[in-house]
């Protein structure tokens, strides 16, 4: 769906985006992570035709964004990190205005506006003036605006910034719904745990370069080279440790009462085999799983490594 090859953008002597390449398949939610000034917003603006690149190629749905920007804009929905609203314009009029830009006829526009307001849960605000909405509502409305022309690719720059926890959860739910609808989403955020929950793939960008890209699991494996598993048992702790130590894939093990944490150099199938072995040998396993991937640690490690 989105294919970027060797993208370069310079501001004078400063290189904001440096030979960045990226491929996001259809239906993915791709998390774009990086420190401030890493080049996330610049890359997103180039994707949306809001900025010219110095070199490189950007294709959205096989449409060349750089040479055929107008056509590409019809399949891209963009939500910037900072956005404004017009005074004296009601919520439905706001959406209707953007829908009219895409030459959608008046009857269809009404239905689209109603559907989008339902999606972002703003039906009861349809006749409110846009500038009277709260920040969270404005952000949801902006998301609805980016969907008026039913784009295939959504580019969301920090969509949850400044939102309270409840609004963030609601935004996350909306994004999941959009994924279920088949939309491809590229999203930047500083709230890394949320990204790791939401995204199917993640790319970490630092100083304009793509440092690492892939699924969360792939990144964890690339960065840490091994997994950590956590086993909670009812009793038989010593026996459980002994069985686990028999596996050549266990690299380290630590027992704390009924909780066992172990380093594991294997894939998911091999984890399943280990669990089966424990159960077969009568260990009362309450829970068994991989320790949560901590994207923040990965982010710190990856970007720190680049600085060194």
Q: Which residues contact other proteins (rule: CB under 8 A)?
A: 45, 48-56, 66-67, 69-70, 73-74, 76, 78, 80, 82-89, 93, 97-98, 100-103, 142, 145, 149
**Min. distance of Cβ 146 from other proteins in angstroms?**
8
CB of 35 to other proteins, least distance (A): 23
Which one, 102 or 224, has the nearer CB to other proteins?
102
Q: Which is nearer to other proteins, 69 or 237 (CB)?
A: 69
Point out which residues pair with 255 in neighbouring strands: 260
Least distance to other proteins, CB of residue 38, Å = 20
Give me the least distance between CB of 291 and other proteins, in Å please.
Answer: 41
State the maximum Cα–Cα separation within the chain, in Å, rounded to a whole number.
Answer: 71
CA separation (Å) from 153 to 72, 150, 250, 261, 296?
10, 9, 42, 41, 26
Q: Whose Cβ is closer to other proteins: residue 14's or residue 86's?
A: 86
List the 285-290 sheet strands across, edge first: 250-256, 259-264, 227-233, 285-290
Report the residue number, 97 or 228, with the smaller CB distance to other proteins. 97
Residue tagged 């100083």 (tokens):
207
- In the complex, the smallest distance separating the C-beta of residue 100 from other proteins, rounded to whole angstroms, is 4
Report the residue number, 19 or 270, with the smaller CB distance to other proteins. 19
Give me 289's structure tokens.
């799983």
């Amino acid at each position: 769906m989105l294919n970027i090859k060797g993208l370069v953008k310079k501001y004078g002597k400063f290189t904001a985006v440096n030979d960045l390449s990226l491929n996001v398949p259809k239906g993915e939610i791709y998390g774009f992570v990086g420190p401030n000034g890493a080049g996330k917003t610049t890359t997103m603006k180039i994707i949306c035709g809001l900025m010219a690149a110095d070199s490189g190629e950007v294709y959205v749905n096989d449409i060349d964004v750089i040479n055929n920007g107008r056509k590409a804009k019809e399949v891209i929905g963009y939500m910037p990190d900072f956005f404004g609203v017009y005074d004296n314009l009601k919520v439905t009029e706001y959406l209707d205005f953007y829908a009219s830009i895409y030459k959608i006829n008046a009857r269809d526009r009404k239905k689209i506006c109603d559907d989008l307001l339902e999606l972002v849960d703003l039906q009861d605000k349809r006749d409110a003036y846009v500038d009277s909405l709260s920040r969270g509502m404005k952000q949801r409305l902006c998301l609805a605006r980016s969907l008026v022309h039913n784009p295939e690719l959504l580019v969301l720059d920090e969509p949850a910034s400044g939102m309270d926890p409840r609004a963030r959860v609601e935004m996350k739910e909306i994004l999941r719904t959009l994924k279920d609808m088949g939309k491809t989403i590229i999203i930047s955020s500083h709230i890394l745990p949320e990204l790791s929950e939401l995204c199917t793939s993640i790319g970490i960008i630092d100083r304009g370069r793509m440092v690492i890209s892939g699924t969360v699991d792939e990144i964890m494996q690339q960065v840490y080279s091994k997994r950590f598993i956590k086993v909670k048992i009812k009793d038989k702790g010593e026996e459980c440790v002994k069985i686990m130590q028999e596996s050549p894939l266990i690299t380290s093990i630590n027992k704390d009462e009924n909780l066992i944490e172990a380093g594991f150099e294997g894939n998911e199938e091999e984890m399943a085999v280990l669990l089966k072995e424990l159960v077969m040998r009568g260990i009362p396993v309450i829970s068994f799983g991989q320790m949560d991937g901590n994207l923040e640690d990965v982010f710190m490690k990856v970007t720190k490594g680049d600085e060194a």
